[in-house]
């Protein structure tokens, strides 16, 4: 199959061709590999090929809704037995998984042909994908810019046409941010819908969930159908849905929705004109489609939410470093930024962490109250266009000071010097909108409706109430029909010429 035809197909369309016998899985895999060979040297999306595994897979009888479709896993939280999961960390680069993650097994059961793992920042802790281990992933629309994070490698691979859909996960925006950066559709399911096991009960105390980034809404819906559902190791029993429920939602009208709009944020009171334009354009389109759209006041204390979010992430970083040191003792296997945030985590009292996590419920109550009046919350996904590679890299002087503080166990001093506040603004200032739905466990999505004058995507985000995945998918399908994006591709010159 030549690339021109391959690019016109989403995952379900590929599977339909395989089921009819018109196309063989080997042909699809060959097309995916050929495309990867052509563009991956430029975008650095795939960091761990799994060619032998994929070749053996072709000898199996493949069944399921995505039988024969090429697929990529994220190299974080999506374990494939016998293959290392690095989590973007040098200390874990050779750590081999002993069992499949639940979602990986479900993808295999669906007939997908997994042939590699994608780039991710160390421990998935940033909204950019620039790990020291693998080097930066780059945005296919302009390789000087980030594809976002932490599912940046997966988003870059899908946007560049290597695969139609790829594995991702989201603990603070890591599906929606890369989707917005790369012109893709990204849905984060609500808490407990998709199991996280078997190694963990849930990701990030309920912050994180697995999913995909895709070019078509129906691929994401079909993926949610196969990923959702009870698992014996899960701490929650999700509501039972009939087979194909989420995919069927994409064929239904959303009805007239009442949508509240927020453009500014306490962390970024002056989002870029493009971010404002993205929401204004989306609002106008929604009104044309018959929805009621109006501006609203802040739903929660946004600065407090960001601080509580980072408090938890600092402590989680400390835990992850401690666990990784059991694999590789010493500090050489970790990035300086990770060690600094881990030190901040170690200096945080248990009482402070407990209070921060308990405050999540207050944000949930505030969002529930908002949804009594509005079906959805609309915001930009990004406060500005995707950052340039290296734009928020920690300066050498700050790295040196941070390294000294780590050696001196000076986390408390780092906090008093205001570095927590600085970290909040640097890491969340350009993506201040996405953490709310993680902390409250609500479903949300990024829809690719806007491109900047310079040709970079910048999506808009919708947040729904608990159990609102169907509402999101119905609206996404309506928007996809009204403003199609599937056939909008990055310029080939950006992918095939020098920087």
- 74 carries an active-site annotation: yes
Q: Counting Cβ atoms within 10 Å, is residue 221 exposed (0-12), middle (13-18) or buried (19+)?
A: buried
220 CB-near residues (< 8 Å, 6+ apart) = 165, 185, 186, 187, 211, 212, 214, 473, 476
Q: Counting Cβ atoms within 10 Å, is residue 21 exposed (0-12), middle (13-18) or buried (19+)?
A: exposed
Give 463's DSSP letter. E
229 CB-near residues (< 8 Å, 6+ apart) = 195, 238, 240, 241
- Contact in structure between 88 and 47 (CB atoms under 8 Å): no
Distance of CA 33 to the CA centre of its chain: 23
Peptide bond into 150 cis (omega under 30): yes
Catalytic residue among 101, 150, 437, 446: 150
69 CB-near residues (< 8 Å, 6+ apart) = 11, 14, 15, 18, 25, 28, 111, 112, 113, 163, 164, 165
Catalytic residue among 125, 151, 154, 174: 174
What span, in angstroms and rounded, lies between the C-alpha atoms of 379 and 177? 12
- 154 carries an active-site annotation: no
- 42 carries an active-site annotation: no
168 CB-near residues (< 8 Å, 6+ apart) = 74, 151, 154, 155, 174, 175, 178, 186, 210, 211, 212, 213
Catalytic residue among 74, 117, 188, 316: 74
pLDDT at 420: 58
pLDDT at 329: 76
Instruction: Please provide residue 261's backbone torsions phi and psi, each rounded to the nearest 5 degrees.
Output: -120, 130
pLDDT at 499: 43
Structure tokens at 368: 């529930």
pLDDT at 424: 62
Where are any strands of DSSP class E within 133-194?
165-170, 185-188
What span, in angstroms and rounded, lies between the C-alpha atoms of 495 and 266? 37
- pTM of the predicted protein model: 0.97
- Contact in structure between 473 and 481 (CB atoms under 8 Å): no
pLDDT per residue of the chain (499 residues) written in tens, 0 to 9: 999 999 999 999 999 999 999 999 999 999 999 999 999 999 999 999 999 999 999 999 999 999 999 999 999 999 999 999 999 999 999 999 999 999 999 999 999 999 999 999 999 999 999 999 999 999 999 999 999 999 999 999 999 999 999 999 999 999 999 999 999 999 999 999 999 989 888 888 899 999 999 999 999 999 999 999 988 888 888 888 899 999 999 999 999 999 999 999 999 999 999 999 999 999 999 999 999 999 999 999 999 999 899 999 999 999 999 999 988 776 578 999 999 889 989 999 999 999 999 999 999 999 999 999 999 999 999 999 999 999 988 888 877 877 887 887 877 777 777 765 676 667 799 999 999 999 999 999 999 999 999 999 999 999 999 999 999 999 999 999 999 999 999 999 888 755 4
- Contact in structure between 432 and 383 (CB atoms under 8 Å): yes
Q: Using alpha carbons only, how large is the chain's radius of gyration in Å?
A: 21
- Contact in structure between 150 and 77 (CB atoms under 8 Å): no
């Amino acid at each position: 199959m030549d690339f021109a035809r391959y690019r016109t197909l989403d995952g379900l369309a590929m599977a339909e061709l395989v089921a009819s016998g018109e196309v063989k899985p080997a042909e699809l895999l060959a097309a995916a590999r050929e495309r990867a060979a052509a563009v991956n040297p430029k975008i650095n999306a795939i960091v761990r090929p799994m060619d032998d595994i994929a070749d053996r897979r072709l000898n199996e009888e493949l069944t399921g809704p995505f039988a024969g479709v090429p697929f990529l896993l994220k190299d974080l939280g999506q374990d494939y037995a016998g293959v290392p999961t690095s989590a973007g960390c040098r200390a874990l680069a050779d750590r081999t998984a002993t069992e499949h993650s639940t979602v990986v097994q479900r993808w295999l059961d669906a007939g997908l042909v997994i042939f590699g793992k994608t780039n991710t920042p160390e421990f998935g802790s940033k909204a950019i994908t620039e790990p020291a281990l693998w080097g930066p992933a780059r945005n296919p629309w302009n390789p000087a810019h980030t594809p976002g994070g932490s599912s940046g490698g997966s988003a870059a691979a899908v946007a560049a046409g290597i695969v139609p859909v790829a594995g991702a996960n989201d603990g603070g925006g890591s599906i929606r941010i890369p989707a917005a950066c790369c012109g893709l559709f990204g849905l984060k399911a609500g808490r407990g819908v998709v199991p996280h096991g078997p190694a963990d009960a849930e990701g990030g105390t309920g912050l994180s969930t697995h999913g995909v980034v895709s070019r078509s809404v129906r691929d994401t819906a079909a993926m949610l159908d196969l990923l959702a559902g009870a698992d014996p190791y899960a701490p929650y029993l999700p509501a039972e849905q009939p087979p194909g429920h989420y995919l069927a939602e994409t064929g239904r009208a959303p009805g007239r929705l009442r949508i509240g709009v927020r453009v500014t944020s306490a962390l970024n009171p002056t989002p870029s004109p493009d971010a404002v334009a993205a929401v204004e354009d989306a609002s106008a389109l929604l009104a044309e489609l018959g929805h009621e759209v109006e501006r609203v006041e802040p739903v929660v204390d946004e600065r407090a939410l960001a601080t509580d979010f980072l408090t938890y992430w600092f402590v989680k970083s400390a835990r992850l470093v401690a666990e990784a040191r059991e694999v590789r003792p010493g500090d050489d296997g970790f990035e300086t930024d990770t060690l600094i945030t881990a030190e901040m985590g170690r200096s945080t009292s248990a009482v402070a962490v407990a209070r921060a996590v308990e405050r999540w419920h207050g944000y949930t109550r505030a969002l529930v109250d908002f949804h009594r009046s509005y079906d959805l919350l609309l915001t930009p996904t990004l406060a500005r266009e995707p950052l340039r590679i290296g734009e928020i890299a920690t300066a050498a002087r700050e790295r040196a000071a941070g390294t000294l503080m780590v050696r001196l166990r000076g986390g408390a001093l780092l906090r008093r010097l205001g570095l927590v506040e600085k970290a909040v603004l640097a890491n969340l200032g350009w993506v201040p909108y996405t953490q709310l739905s993680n902390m409250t466990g609500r479903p949300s999505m990024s829809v690719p409706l806007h491109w900047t004058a310079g040709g970079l995507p910048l999506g808009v985000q919708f947040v729904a109430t608990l159990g609102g995945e169907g509402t999101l998918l119905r609206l996404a399908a309506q928007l996809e029909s009204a403003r199609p994006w599937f056939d909008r591709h990055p310029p080939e010159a950006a992918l095939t010429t020098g920087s």
